[in-house]
Structure 1
Amino acid sequence: MPLRSYAGPDKTIVKIIGGQRSAVAGQKRITMNINFLSPLEGDVFHAFDGHLMDGKLQIAVQIAASTDAEIAVNGAPATWRGDHFEAEVILDAYANTLRAENLKTGESAEVRVFLLQDFAGHYRLSIDDNIWFLRDIQQNRYASLFENPYLGFLKEINVGFGTKIHLNLFYQTDGFNLSDFTDQYKAEWKANADWLRLSFHAYQEFPDMPYVNAGYDEVKRDCDLIMGEIRRFAGAEVMHSVTTIHWGEATVEGSRAMRDAGYVGQVGYFNVDDHLPSASYYLTADQRRHLKKRFVWHDTAEDITFVRASIVIDTKKLEDIRPHLDAHGQNGHKPPYLDLLVHEQYFYPFYFNYQPDFRDKIRTAVQWAKDNGYTPQFLTESISHS
């Protein structure tokens, strides 16, 4: 008989056994012939899920229960739809508890779901593996940060499209680390913090997947190291609550360390049922399948919001970027938040995998965002509920 488990809203371990749900808390065991089919624990809703008006969103709730049950969800009566019960409920807060009850037996089930008021319809450009541009600035001591060709190009993108750009940093590369970087540009970093942000990525590029088995202390150490240097040379103004760990792989303890450092939003690919890199942190295959369709999910046990990147620009040919982004909507999974991800290395002619059309690829992706009605906004503001 199939068995799976997950953390319930109160972190009780909940198991699904042969289609029935049982909760084990201490010595008590309660069997419930009632279960949420949709939404699932941790689902995040937004304007693309319906008509969001005055901070309220109506959603359909689907419940599995015996045909002779009398089901209500948050007091609203549910109707039998042939293979499940369905009720309409209103979400009107960031965190919402949905309680389904069989009024005949008193059996009940609960899930927590979330409503983000300003998530859908925005985009950013997110760049991983950044370190070489800082080494160049340190070596050349330009009059302005934006005399560096890489940052100069990103400034052009911001000026031309209003794009918000987020750079995830390594601590070190050959012959250079962040502690070497001057703080002489601190005022300029702060002056541009409205469109340019910096965050932790990893200690260095190699080995691959450095945190796939790492514990809390290792991730927290590297995270704090990089954040401390960013604060020193650029200021807290460029530091916010979202990052992408190198290779998108971490243990639950590693993700918890990033959360405790302030990174409550964590971005990855969440690939599953294919041969692509997983980049899914600690999530299970079932959670990844769900997130791959929804693009966002909140782990209620860990208080972390995961967001799926919509494209990895440098893995696509220039002519394939627009079709790739078009395909999301054609498959019925239009990204609510469009995260355009790329990697720094491909900008440089000296890199063995240099992409001469790096600039054109980014312009194409950003132009697609504009053409399809997405507006620039950092992910931190988009997942904020304050």
Structure 2
Amino acid sequence: MYYFSFGYPANHVFLTDAAGKKTENGLKIQCIFNADPSRSIAINGVPATPASGCLKATVELTSFKNILTAVDTQTGEKNSITVYYVKKAHKTYRFSLDDNIWFLQDIAKNQHIYRSIFENPYLSMLKGVHDQYGTHFHLNIYYETPHDGGFNLTMMPDKYKSEFIAHSDWLRFSFHANADKPDRPFIRKGYDQTKFECLRVAEHIIRFAGEESYAKEVTTMHWGDATKESVRALRACGVRMLVGSFRYANPNNVQIRYYLNAEQCALMENYGFYYDPETDMEFVRYGSTLQHTALEDVPVLSALFEKQYPLYSHKEICVHEQYFYPHYVRYMPDYPQRFDIGVKWPVENGYRSLFLSDIMEFDQKR
């Protein structure tokens, strides 16, 4: 018995130039349709040809949002899916950092000494990488660190606001969580509490760093795990895309997948980008092993990832702020070297550094 459904591409995924051949008007892709090869099928008006257990047709994606419709020209049976062509995503990378708060605590503590935010060693390191490679950095921040001095964002002065704004073309901030503990907070928090915490952090980012420095549309929720209600709360705050690892059945750790099911996580594995119309939220997955990998293995694994997931030609790199500090239990003495090696590979292999807000065309209707 044959199905009557699309095998490729899948519904609600995002495609980059890696999915087909660029044309003057868009991107040509080869669709695979699951049906009896003897049936007369047309996809967006293009007759499909029989293949091994399926039918295939080459169609052109000419817009950001594209509806693909397969029709049995004899019976009239139809099947439609929606796919998105992201023209700017191919061969791009983004570097995000999670669990940020201590660098702000240091700046606040030294506000009468530091003439520049880049006198903070952590930001100084990031600026060095940016100056050398042109890398954009997206920092997801906490509201407070109650177990490490009691600092919270109300204590961060706004005297450096103009400097933050001046560097907002490559350095931006967004909400991460209220604090480092508890673990996996957003599987416990409801809509109202999540929304309150997000808006509170956003208010302070804008206060001390300016609207230009606030990465409103993209963030990573702490632990990358959440209920639909907490995701809906962030959507109400203006967040359009969430970043995570989407490990549905991980034998070495808890499931880190927000609320996505096994099928959706499988799509994330292959395509890297996915849109869920139920919550009106988009998702993108990590594509780097920078934090827990031997330095000499980083280039090898980066190249392997590119070969294993040819459709996912955007690269998400992430590390955590705490590993920078000698007093932290998981301190990495080679932390700065990891940035150099982690960024050097995509740069030398033709990747451009962009914020996701510059890639995803959030102004386009989903």
Structure 2 length normalisation: TM-score?
0.93
* Equivalent residue, structure 1, for 2:251: 275
The residue type equivalent to 1:291 in the other structure is M
* Aligned CA distance change for structure 1 residues 259 and 275 (closer, same or farther; 3 Å): same
C-alpha displacement of 1:312: 4.4
* Equivalent residue, structure 2, for 1:370: 347
- Separation in 1, partners of 2:289, 2:182: 21
Instruction: Please state if 1:236 is matched with 2:208.
Output: no
* Equivalent residue, structure 2, for 1:13: none
C-alpha displacement of 1:336: 1.3
1:249–1:282 Cα contact (<8 Å) kept:
yes
* Equivalent residue, structure 1, for 2:131: 159
Instruction: Please state if 1:78 is matched with 2:48.
Output: yes
Structure 2 SS opposite 1:310: coil
- Separation in 1, partners of 2:38, 2:91: 42
Instruction: Please state if 1:121 is matched with 2:121.
Output: no
* Equivalent residue, structure 1, for 2:318: 341
Structure 1 SS opposite 2:175: strand
C-alpha displacement of 1:381: 0.5
C-alpha displacement of 1:215: 2.6
The residue type equivalent to 2:108 in the other structure is Q
Residues 349-360 of structure 1 aligned to structure 2 (within 5 Å): 349-360=326-337
Percent identical:
37
* Equivalent residue, structure 2, for 1:302: 279
What is the CA deviation profile of residues 101-142 of structure 1, one whole-angstrom value per residue up to 9, with x for unaligned ones?
111111111111100110111112110000000000000111
Instruction: Please state if 1:324 is matched with 2:301.
Output: yes
Superposition CA RMSD, Å: 1.7
1:61–1:86 Cα contact (<8 Å) kept:
yes
* Aligned CA distance change for structure 1 residues 304 and 180 (closer, same or farther; 3 Å): same
Structure 2 SS opposite 1:307: strand
* Equivalent residue, structure 2, for 1:15: none
Structure 1 SS opposite 2:22: coil
- Separation in 2, partners of 1:324, 1:63: 33
The residue type equivalent to 1:52 in the other structure is K
- Separation in 1, partners of 2:248, 2:198: 27
C-alpha displacement of 1:322: 1.6
Residue segments in structure 1 that go unaligned for 5+ positions in a row: 1-17, 21-33
Greater shift, 76-85 or 325-334, is seen at: 325-334
Count of residues in correspondence between the two structures: 356
C-alpha displacement of 1:273: 4.4
Residues 1-150 of structure 1 aligned to structure 2 (within 5 Å): 34-141=4-111, 142-150=114-122
- Separation in 1, partners of 2:6, 2:180: 42
- Separation in 1, partners of 2:79, 2:92: 34
* Aligned CA distance change for structure 1 residues 185 and 208 (closer, same or farther; 3 Å): same
- Separation in 2, partners of 1:55, 1:128: 39
What is the CA deviation profile of residues 198-248 of structure 1, one whole-angstrom value per residue up to 9, with x for unaligned ones?
000000001110002433222211111111111111111012311111000
* Equivalent residue, structure 2, for 1:23: none
- Separation in 1, partners of 2:293, 2:104: 26
* Equivalent residue, structure 2, for 1:211: 186
- Separation in 2, partners of 1:55, 1:357: 46
Greater shift, 298-307 or 273-282, is seen at: 273-282
Structure 1 length normalisation: TM-score?
0.88
Structure 2 SS opposite 1:233: helix
Residue segments in structure 2 that go unaligned for 5+ positions in a row: none
C-alpha displacement of 1:332: 4.4
The residue type equivalent to 1:164 in the other structure is H
* Aligned CA distance change for structure 1 residues 215 and 155 (closer, same or farther; 3 Å): same
- Of 173, 183, 188 in structure 2, the residue corresponding to residue 198 of structure 1 is 173
Instruction: Please state if 1:251 is matched with 2:221.
Output: no
* Aligned CA distance change for structure 1 residues 96 and 131 (closer, same or farther; 3 Å): same
C-alpha displacement of 1:379: 1.4
- Separation in 2, partners of 1:279, 1:273: 9
Greater shift, 369-378 or 294-303, is seen at: 294-303
- Separation in 1, partners of 2:353, 2:161: 24
Structure 2 SS opposite 1:322: helix
* Equivalent residue, structure 2, for 1:27: none
Structure 1 SS opposite 2:123: helix
The residue type equivalent to 2:123 in the other structure is L
1:314–1:346 Cα contact (<8 Å) kept:
no
